[in-house]
A and B are shown apart, each in its own frame.
Chain A
Amino acid sequence: MKKTVLSGNEAIARGAFEAGVKVAAAYPGTPSTEILENLVSYQGIDASWSPNEKVALEVGIGASFGGVRTLVTMKHVGVNVAADPLFTLSYTGVRGGLVLVTADDPELHSSQNEQDNRNYAKFAKVPMFEPADSQEALEFTRLAFAVSEQFDTPVMLRTTTRISHSKSVVTLGEPLTGLPEPSLSRNPAKLVMLPGNARPLHHTVEKRITDLEEWSSRQPWTRVEEYGGKIGVITAGISYQYAREVMPDADILKLGMVYPLPKAAIRAFAANYETLYVLEELDPFIEEQVRAMGINVQGKDIFPLCGELTPGRVHDALTGEHAPLAHSVDEPLPNRPPNMCPGCPHRGVFYALNRLKAYVTGDIGCYTLGFMPPLSAMDTCVCMGASIGMATGISKVLTEEDRAKVVAVIGDSTFLHTGINGLMDMVYNRSTATVIILDNSITAMTGRQDNPGSGFNLAGDGTYQVNIEALCAAVGVKHIQVIDPYHLEQTKDVIQAEMHRPEVSVIITRRPCMLVKRDNLESKPPLFVDSDKCTACRACLKIGCPAIEWNPEAGTKGQAQVNELLCVGCKVCMELCKFDAFGVVDDE
């Protein structure tokens, strides 16, 4: 069989292909995004971006009810959005196997919280697999489809960033053939969840979990590994790797299915050890259930509850000390925070909001970086789509003067995800806040995925493009303006005027993401700073462009310089300079 190196996400896509998946749906979200981006390249699979995770799961449910195997993927917080269909899908069960991937992000590498979605498996009463490397990501994806159909249940597959974005060697399998053909099949007692139908299904769900719990103890993914016989560790997922790395002599009960737990296997394993650990990231999910079985274990009393585990953190928790390091850095170093790209169309908008001293309810996207200095123009960020509802809420309680300062900002993809509902409420309940839709025609932060507003689908084919201004007009917004955020003065003037309007207004700042190459945008020559004209006023530094660098050694008081390798020639800085010090390189 062919060996290759795959990330966890690539392996899940491969596993889904091998399992005979026909339909896949998702909303992009780090660290889950690459699963569908890879899956779309396999022949015969309908893979698509949905406007949000709830729609993605509903598309998946429909395809499953039509009789095909279906994959739905999202990041951990995406499951919050998809929770509504998930909890009732647990009752209906499936027709074609349905697997929901939740990609969790311990350590919040690129997220707003680090919730532990193993709790969803228990809450929704659905089985959950957790792979420990890319090989298992592939195999467990295949297995999850088989279990889904065998037990008539959706199955969750949980990864974490270190599984999704780590690569390891994988042996590929052969794709399954001979799966049932899709068809219409009416079964209202199973698929129409009214109280009379759902009540008996609750009993089915409870029995299913008991059956799975008993069955899972006897499956090969519930595995005892013996290395020394003195210490026992119960673990799963990435934590298994850290147990092997840091405690090479400990015996291990490696779990593949983390819900329901294989209680018989756990009881049998635990009986052999006086010292028994549960090693897991985030919540004491396994630990609490093991303790509830009357088994005494060590877990979160020594291992950290917050953040991801690392070999070092596990070692320190076990030994109570930090191993001395051979090398050190003894001086404070400047941080290197992420920043909007040179030429990013969002930059000028946040500069204007900063100058206008707006109170900005923010949202999730590249533009959340508008929070960072020197732009420093974001006051809240909670979840996808929240900015508009929050602007409505805070406007309700403020004085007229303060109310005029409230501005909601939201990206095009986030607006179409869940922002539109907030806008309906804003108009319906006669709020007065201002909404800025930062329309760069792409879902940028996750790596530039298409969305219903971009005019292209996941496969890269042209499709219908949502008309955002018409959509806003349709929900009742009377004041809608579309502006180019590269025009700094106009941007500031329009925002200022709309902030003072005692009615809902929407400003669409429209310019494509700098990283989208589709439009064959002419590349523009970089700028330079004329050292005879630069007076060291530092006005240009206030937009935080990565291409403008302060050189403290230049001139008598220091001077700004343009890094020609980074500058894309957007000229926003030119508008800031009162001394006409910026020039275009080609014009010299």
Chain B
Amino acid sequence: MKKEEVPQDKGNLSNINMKELVYATDEKGNYTTALSTGWEPKTIALSNSIDEISERIAVAKEQVENNERSPIYYFMEVSRMDLSILSSYVGMWQWRVKRDFKPENFKGLSDKVLQKYADAFDISINELKNFKTN
């Protein structure tokens, strides 16, 4: 990549005025560094992931409202976690966490266990117990 080809597209970084460093060649063909504000293919890839997550959150929200799944599942999606990440944050087996996705199991959880989940999601126990999504 030549220095003048270093992409300066509007991206997620340019919003907060962050630039990344890239290696590129100067007019003599020797390597130098340049700053880039962003690159479109990357921005699209990232927004694709973000859309994917928003979709997952919307589905989770509906499932909790229909009493198909517990709020733990919803907050896991909001925190961009998956089962294995959540289980390592709360220090419990994956099958155990999976069981707590069920509303009937969730109701029986002690405050001690709920606190673990709340800490993992960085919310209060009340937010976890009184599920509201807005």
A binds B: no
> Interface residues, chain B, CB within 8 Å of chain A?
none
> Interface residues, chain A, CB within 8 Å of chain B?
none
